[in-house]
Amino acid sequence: MKTDYVDVLSKISDRLYKSGMDVMHTASRMIPANTFCIATLDRVSTVVLNAFNRDKVILTEGLVVANEESYCALVTEKAKGPLVIENNMTHPLTKDMPATQFVGGCSFLGVPLLTPGGQIFGSLCAFDDQYYAFEERDVELLLSLSRFFTDVLSLDESVERLQAAQAQAMRVLEEKDNLLAVLSHEIRTPMNGVLGMANLLRSTTLTEEQQNYIAVIEDCGEGLLEMLNQILEHSKIQAGKMSVDIEPFNLVECAEQAIQIHAFEAGKKGIGLRLEIEDELLGNYEGDGLKIRQILINLISNAVKFTDSGEVLLSIEKEDKPVQDDKEWLAFNVRDTGTGIAPERKNQLFRSFSQVHDKSIKCNYGGIGLGLSICRQYAELMNGTVVLTDTGPDGSCFTLSVPLRSLKTRQTFNAG
């Protein structure tokens, strides 16, 4: 749940309440009475929240009186609706009240103020020491104001419920993060043990069949560890705990490291793995090199996974986009000669836990559909994008576009 819109609703509620105070000021000019007030009450006492006095000070803000001495309680408990009193000194409800001596002789108009659920919240009242004769239009005006404040109270209740729901959601999210961290540790430790033992077994004398079994164990174990890593990364991003670390990094080293990780797998499949970089781009840059490398690792991993012959090419070039804050746009293109992506499945790309290949291919390649989603979210954190720029029977191309600041450090590089 996003914090922003709850905060906005809270601010709107505050502003509406202030607007209501302004409307009360306007009402005090439209009704020729001396004093207007908004009061709340519980079972014991009445509190004057706001008061407006023209000439004579009859009521002040913050005044607290017992309900048996409160005109507000008369409106809500006796009249239970609009109450008009021409003369409080002679009216049967007020003539003997101690509060009448306090406010002095006056005429009175009060309407109840209810909560959205219909419970009594307080009242809106008007007093006039010159015994103004309140008219029906005055009653209607205060009733309209009462309905307005009921709507404000409704919004307040909604904000409180949303804030409570948000707090609960944050607690659940934190518990989920903690659970994922614990599960990751508890699964990762024995899995590393399994992989370690598989590696030891590989160093012993094995039949070809046994070597195949070891290969399956290693592939499954490494796949499980990769899934754990992706789930944890996805969880951190969703919780807003992922940040961008701006540091100098070397473009060639970043790209070569991403390629080297997949060199063995590409070699086993007999496919080429190449890197091409425009000469003018060689050197160091300022940005989050670790996230760029991780995006390239994911993109190259997918390219190698779905390519059975041919090659995977990582090319880096400068994009024709406006330079902002001394940052130029670089495009990292990962092109393969693999199976391509069916047109009807393109809209599933970059969605969490979504895979774009049919069931037979899923069985062959595995995965949980988080790699591209994490790539997209990493790119957006760096104010960049990751998109599918080309696909067809001859393969696919994914492009990472990201703004980086060149540090003008040159080096010699021979594309492989």
Counting every residue, how long is the chain? 416
- Distances in Å between the Cα of 380 and the Cα atoms of 377, 402, 411 are 5, 9, 29
What kind of architecture, by CATH, is found in domain 3-163? 2-Layer Sandwich (3.30)
Q: Do 111 and 75 contact (CB within 8 A), yes or no? A: yes
Return the bridge partners of 396, or none: 391
Query: Would you state the structure tokens that stand for residue 257, as one six-digit string?
Result: 């490291």
Query: Would you state the structure tokens that stand for residue 384, as one six-digit string?
Result: 């960049």
3-state DSSP call for residue 239?
coil
pLDDT tens, N- to C-terminus, the chain (416 residues)? 444 544 544 555 555 556 656 666 666 667 889 998 888 888 888 988 888 888 899 988 889 989 888 998 899 888 777 999 999 999 999 999 989 988 999 999 999 988 777 788 888 899 999 999 999 988 888 888 888 777 776 666 666 677 777 777 767 666 666 666 666 666 667 777 777 888 888 888 888 888 888 877 877 777 677 667 666 665 666 656 667 788 899 999 999 988 988 888 899 899 999 999 988 888 999 998 888 988 898 899 889 988 999 999 999 999 888 877 788 899 999 999 988 877 766 666 756 444 544 444 443 434 444 567 778 888 888 999 998 888 888 889 999 999 999 886 444 444 44
Q: Do 372 and 355 contact (CB within 8 A), yes or no? A: no
Q: Tokens 């989050």 sit at which residue?
A: 288
**CB neighbourhood size of 273 (10 A):** 21
Domain ranges of the chain: 3-163, 175-238, 247-406
Report the alpha-carbon distance of residue 68 to residue 98 in Å, rounded.
Answer: 9
> If you write DSSP's letter for every residue of 10-75 in order, what string do you get?
HHHHHHHHHHHHHHHHHHHHHS--SEEEEEEE-SSEEEEEEEEESSS----TT-EEEGGG-HHHII
Fold of 247-406: Heat Shock Protein 90 (3.30.565)
